[in-house]
Structure 1
Amino acid sequence: MCREFTSSRGPVRQALAGLRDDGLIGGGQGRRAVVLDAVPAQPFDTLLSFSHWAELMGRTPGQRTQQIALRRPEPAVAAALQLGPGARVVQLVRLRLLDGEPAMLERTTFVEPLGRTLLSVDLDAGSIYALLTACGVDLHAARHTFDAVAAERQDAALLEVAEGAPLLRERRLTTSSTGEPLEWSDDRYRPDIATVTISNTRRSRPGMARTWP
């Protein structure tokens, strides 16, 4: 590698160490570096949209909007978004696809000023995050909570699984750079499509990633 890239041993060793820390290669001192059989992963320390991430790994994203409405939020959602009595939100339900196959069902709630932007656009045309970012919306940070839930009737029908089948649920609160809540989402993934992997090293803080086969 030193000859191929006209480099000294130091930078080559640093590059290999970085790849090893990321879980992309195996081996170590005195052993040949081997590329590991790993699936692409989406880091959660960046706010990549489903569509953007799918395209980065060479998959074709898609979406089918099932519902969008301006309404009063459920008490738990209102509390998450720090909304007072009488506040309204824009809620939507979309089926997300990978290469034409059902992958995830998202139930997303946006605060009213932000959500109204979505009432007059084609939500099946692409990424909502990309649209909002282009409009200058300050999508700055997100907190993710994961658990497992049983597929309800709508989940099962849209994701093409049996009713009661286990699903991976991600609940996400997205905030602005000033900490203002903007979005609350309840996303449910087919477990044969998505997994969550947590990896860490002695040199870095733990990282978590969504992975797909």
Structure 2
Amino acid sequence: MGTPLHEQIAAEVRRQIATGELAVGAQVPSESQLCALWDASRGPVRQALATLRAEGLIGGGRGKPPVVRRQALSQPFDTFLSFSRWVDGLGRSAGQRTLEVALRPAPAEVADPLHIDEGTPVVQLVRLRLIDDKPTMVERSTFVESAGRLLFDFDCDSGSIYAYLAGRGVDITVAHHLIDAVAADETDSDLLGVALGAPLLRERRLARGSGGEEIEYSDDRYRPDMISFTIENSLQAAQPALVRSLRPATEQKKSAS
């Protein structure tokens, strides 16, 4: 079954907002224009626009044409595991520069969450992640040996590690996330181009297989002028939805000045 038409329309408008084709304050194509463009009835078009309004990307209504309200696009929780998938979905370019991939004894701070003994061999990875060639996040991942050894046969600068591991039969389907703030250390400062001790957003992630087995523990540190996190919930929802947002270019410039 293909993607519903209203989702296709919403995705295309999101892409145009993310790439700047539709800037903040710009008028979004009208219902009639979208109907003609997509050869669609008003039902799917209205559903797509309603979705974008609910996400806070567009505003207007009651006879007024919809306009772009913000560029900060949010990542649904079900894709939070993959930075590359999220960035590519925004119509941006995800990049990475690998600093190290090494087999070493597990220190206590990663052995505990992975439920292994301290000193057990693990594979540790450090990568700088980029959006449109801009340093955005430092990724420090530790994989259990059985999964991590596969990375020695992979060019970690070439793309998504999770996609590669999935293709090699590694099951990573569930994750627990803890988000807090941390001061930039020397590595963070050098790679992200921020001052030593500058505040960073940190996401610590424990990824598991569908059977509950621990696969990876990661410490990811984001520039807060580039990325933000929000929680969306409702009285009807059993679990809140965590989303990661790319800050608008105008806000990034203000933060850098």
Which interval holds the TM-score relative to the shorter structure? 0.7 to 0.9
- Where structure 2 has 5 or more consecutive residues not aligned to the other structure, the ranges are 1-30, 248-257
Structure with the higher fraction of residues in strand conformation = 1
The corresponding residue for 1:21 is 54
Greater RCO (CA < 8 Å, at least 6 residues apart): 1
Cα deviation code 1:103-160 (max 9, x no counterpart): 1001100000000000232111111011001111111111111010100111101111
Quote the Cα distance in structure 2 between the aligned partners of 1:163 and 1:48: 28
Shift in CA distance, 70/203, structure 1 to aligned 2, threshold 3 Å: same
Deviations 1:64-102 (A, max 9, x none): 111111111111210100113542100011111111111
Report the equivalent of 1:127: 160
Pairwise CA distance, 1:45: 2.6
2:25 corresponds to: none
Give distance in 2, aligned partners of 1:27 and 1:199.
22
Alignment-derived partner of residue 6 in structure 1: 41
Q: Given the alignment of the two structures, is residue 34 of structure 1 paired with residue 66 of structure 2, yes or no?
A: yes
| 1:63 and 2:96 are equivalent in the alignment | yes
Give the SS at the match of 1:196.
strand
Find 1:212's aligned residue among 246, 250, 253. 246
TM-score, normalised via structure 1 length = 0.87
Give unmatched runs, 5+ long, in structure 1. none
1:107 paired to 2:140: yes
Contact 1:21 1:201 in 2 (8 A): no
Q: Where do residues 65-84 of structure 1 align in structure 2 (5 Å cutoff)?
A: 65-84=98-117
* Residue type of the alignment partner of 2:106: P
Higher mean displacement: 101-110 or 76-85 = 76-85
Are 1:192 and 2:229 counterparts? Answer: no
Other structure's SS at 2:117 match: coil
List 4+ stretches of structure 1 deviating above 6 A. Answer: none
Q: 1:143 to 1:6 in 2, by over 3 A?
A: same
Q: Identity percentage over the alignment?
A: 52
| 1:148 aligned residue | 181
